Structure 1
Amino acid sequence: MSKSTSYHIVTKSFHWLTALLILAIIPLGMIANDLPFETDAELARKAWVFSIHKTLGVTVFFVALLRILWAVTQAKPGPLHPNRKAETFLAEVIHWVLYISLVAVPLTGWIEHAATSGFAPIWWPFGQSLFFVPQSNAVAGVFAGLHWMFGKLMIASILLHIAGALKHQFVDRDATLRRMWFGRANAPVVAPHVTHFGPRVAALAAFALAGFAAFAFGFLDRHETTVAATALDAVASEWVVQDGEIAITVAQFGSDVSGSFADWTSEISFDPAPADIMGDVTTVISIGSLTLGSVTSEAMGADYFDAETFPTATFTAQIKPDGDSYIADGSVTIKGVTVPVQMPFDLILDGDTAQMTGTVTLERLAFNVGESQTSAANLGFDVIVNISLTAQRGA
């Protein structure tokens, strides 16, 4: 138990361990955000620093939970100047803001990470996902904004906490700081700390206000792409697509990053009667409609899809029989580069309804996508494209 003159050795250990972790994490996050990523080496360095930041953040989360569980079972010495009501109240509020932020900041960052795939894995061995968090760019954006805003609140409370400790040490010249240091505190005996709910309520209110500010000032869409998706014109088609998906998967640092295009059109003609050529297809894709995990914005950049200069990609092909299935024999144009492509696909016909599924692997460097990333260990060369759709004839 904590004594009336100082804190328990376990409490002190938790305090200084947390302080060291936080003082490492904050600059690591700032440095990682500012690091360039134009080359293989730069991208690897940026991901490495972010992985350290995230891994230490998860460590802080668990250390904070243990610290809070320990703290609620322990009595602690009361304030040395209980007659200073306002100062004591403010100190308690700051302490509770710190307690909450030590859980809220790493947890929101962890949820952001779990909600979207790609870039800078957490090095703890329990995987990259959380069972209650869906894979969703919208969820990731909300928690990225909360992580950023709560982080600013945590930094402010840390600075106030340090300022208070320095005031006690050099202005008041009392034993406040010595009580939290190791060894004998030589501090006066004081009454045990009395718990008040006011500081806790004020701390919770501060977080509620920070969350509202994040919403009001648009910080909850931090995973939105900075490139507006080009709207596509409707097409007249013999077979009209009712629903479907064009999804892509690429390996980054050994982990799959998957995404899909929200806006695309297909003009399809097809006659199921046996023939050497059974039809043709032209698909236009709005590049800016892509969501690709945590690297969506980067994928729109000049070195990758360059969505501002090349807002669409096109696939044109003739449909041919291929044994018991079919093959789309044609080409793909991305970033103004056209490459021949053959895509095998399966087709299920039910009257005037057709269900199609197909997969093709594209080599990104053939389209000048990610030319600065020449190492497959950082960014895989192969991009797997999975297509599925349901179309209705004459709809």
Structure 2
Amino acid sequence: MARGNTHATYGSVTKTFHWLTALLILSAFPLGILAHDAPYDTSEQLTRKALLFSLHKTVGVMAFFTALLRILWALTQPRPGLLNADRRLEALAAETAHWVLYGCMLLVPLTGWIHHAAAEGFAPIWWPFGQTLPFIPKDAQLSAICGSIHTTLTPVFAVTILAHVGGALKHAIIDKDHTLRRMLPGASNAPTPPAQSHTRLPFVLALGIWAVAMTVGVLSTPQAAQTQQVALSEVKSQWAVQEGEIALTIRQFGNDVRGSFADWTADITFSETASEGKHGTADVQIAIGSLSLGSVTQQAMGADFFDATTFPTASFTADLVAHEQGHMAEGTLTIKGASVPVSFPFTLTIEGDTATVSAQTTLNRQDFNVGQSMPDESSLGFAVIIDITLTATR
């Protein structure tokens, strides 16, 4: 059997691409459904759900590249004519379905990949594919929009596949022609197709179907669920924070997930001259519900983790003391009702009445009873890296 197409039959390369793409797509569909419906109340359930999603995503990316290669190959080959070209309406439906399939084979996995790449955390795509894409920033809104488009295009894709399969079976069982047979393995003695009459109408119809599905996806993008959070009282501090960030990084399924708290206050006293080794104090209050942690934000608010409903704030009260390498914050961190002594060095630069501070420390989530349903690090690491940066004026 020839590798290339003729005007009457498909070659071996086209057939291989066709059936490999079909295998990957028909594998990705049930994996996605199973992953979406799987519970994640326990460590074992979460691990299984992540496994299913990782399979779904990885197979989806494989399907994207296979489809892309298939389309590029098709551009170099003659396209066998329709055997039912004389039935105008049926031919129009077949060509429109083919265009819809080509678009969905690229758009469905690509929007899913962008949804993953723009988000932080949960169910990594496996090697050799990466977790990021060029020119795609970590952006929760972009992730949500692409996820919604992925969701609305998927049923369009599924219905078109069913129509495509139904049409192939009609040709084989009712019409008894070579339409299906010439895509099956082996040589085909398909007859010469009748005269073809191609127009742009099938592509225009497919373009309209893609546009409607994507528009519905954008308009139906869900808003991020808001966690009820306590309003922190304003503080009158000797040093007023002008800008800054309290960020955390966790390790989930072997990948770093970074997030930050949007609402926190700091009451800081500090003197360049230390009295008995003490420069001042810091009293930091953090609204737990203001945490943004990518795709696992709502899970982090749950009872097994921060339990934001019962413990809406965290606090850190410390003395700022002199240290041989600069400065040290020595105090008590309270999260989820657990108070733990915490000390860490920080760098400080003061120019006139402006101070710049940066610090990093590592906590153990187990010390604060966070993630007790995950007693090992198979799905969630013990270490939580805290990064603090701020600029304050006297």
TM range (shorter): over 0.9
Secondary structure at 1:189 match in 2: coil
Mapped contact 1:362–1:384 kept (Cα < 8 A): yes
Shift, 1:225, TM fit: 4.1
Partner of 1:243: 243
Q: What letter is aligned with 1:25?
A: A
Q: Pairwise mapping of residues 138-153 of structure 1 onto structure 2 (< 5 A)?
A: 138-153=141-156
Range moving further from structure 2, 353-362 or 304-313: 304-313
Range moving further from structure 2, 78-87 or 11-20: 78-87
| Residue ranges of structure 1 left out of the alignment (5+ in a row) | none
Partner of 1:168: 171
Asked if residue 43 in structure 1 is aligned to residue 46 in structure 2, the reply is yes
> Matched residues in 2 for 1:148 and 1:310: separation?
35
Shift, 1:249, TM fit: 0.8
Q: 1:300 to 1:171 in 2, by over 3 A?
A: farther
Q: 1:22 to 1:326 in 2, by over 3 A?
A: same
One of 172, 196, 201 as aligned partner of 1:198: 201
Asked if residue 313 in structure 1 is aligned to residue 318 in structure 2, the reply is no
Mapped contact 2:86–2:194 kept (Cα < 8 A): no
Partner of 2:378: 377
Q: 1:83 to 1:29 in 2, by over 3 A?
A: same
Q: Pairwise mapping of residues 203-214 of structure 1 onto structure 2 (< 5 A)?
A: 203-214=206-217
Partner of 2:294: 293
Q: Deviations over 1:284-330 (max 9, x none)?
A: 21222222233222212221112233222222222222224222222
Mapped contact 2:149–2:216 kept (Cα < 8 A): no
> Matched residues in 2 for 1:346 and 1:22: separation?
53
Q: Deviations over 1:90-115 (max 9, x none)?
A: 22111111111111111112122222
TM-score w.r.t. length of structure 1: 0.92
Mapped contact 1:137–1:291 kept (Cα < 8 A): no
Q: 1:48 to 1:193 in 2, by over 3 A?
A: farther
> Matched residues in 2 for 1:27 and 1:141: separation?
22
> Matched residues in 2 for 1:132 and 1:379: separation?
28
Q: Pairwise mapping of residues 1-395 of structure 1 onto structure 2 (< 5 A)?
A: 1-191=4-194, 195-219=198-222, 221=223, 224-276=224-276, 277-393=278-394
Secondary structure at 1:297 match in 2: helix
Mapped contact 1:109–1:143 kept (Cα < 8 A): yes
Q: What letter is aligned with 1:73?
A: T
> Matched residues in 2 for 1:242 and 1:187: separation?
76
Q: 1:80 to 1:230 in 2, by over 3 A?
A: farther
Mapped contact 1:298–1:304 kept (Cα < 8 A): yes
Shift, 1:89, TM fit: 1.3
Q: Deviations over 1:55-84 (max 9, x none)?
A: 111111111111001112222222222232
The count of residues paired between Structure 1 and Structure 2 equals: 390
> Matched residues in 1 for 2:196 and 2:11: separation?
14
Shift, 1:186, TM fit: 4.5
> Matched residues in 2 for 1:15 and 1:192: separation?
25
Secondary structure at 2:275 match in 1: coil
Q: Deviations over 1:243-267 (max 9, x none)?
A: 0011101111222111111221112
Secondary structure at 2:124 match in 1: coil
Q: 1:194 to 1:290 in 2, by over 3 A?
A: farther
Q: Deviations over 1:23-82 (max 9, x none)?
A: 101111111122222333322222222222111111111111110011122222222222
> Matched residues in 1 for 2:265 and 2:209: separation?
48
Q: 1:198 to 1:316 in 2, by over 3 A?
A: same
Q: What letter is aligned with 1:360?
A: T
Range moving further from structure 2, 251-260 or 241-250: 251-260
Secondary structure at 1:380 match in 2: coil
Secondary structure at 2:348 match in 1: strand
Q: Deviations over 1:165-206 (max 9, x none)?
A: 233333333332212112344433213655432211221221
Q: What letter is aligned with 2:191?
A: P
Identity %: 49
Q: 1:191 to 1:136 in 2, by over 3 A?
A: same
Secondary structure at 1:179 match in 2: helix
Q: What letter is aligned with 1:81?
A: N
Range moving further from structure 2, 162-171 or 69-78: 162-171
Mapped contact 2:6–2:80 kept (Cα < 8 A): yes
| Residue ranges of structure 2 left out of the alignment (5+ in a row) | none
Q: What letter is aligned with 2:281?
A: D
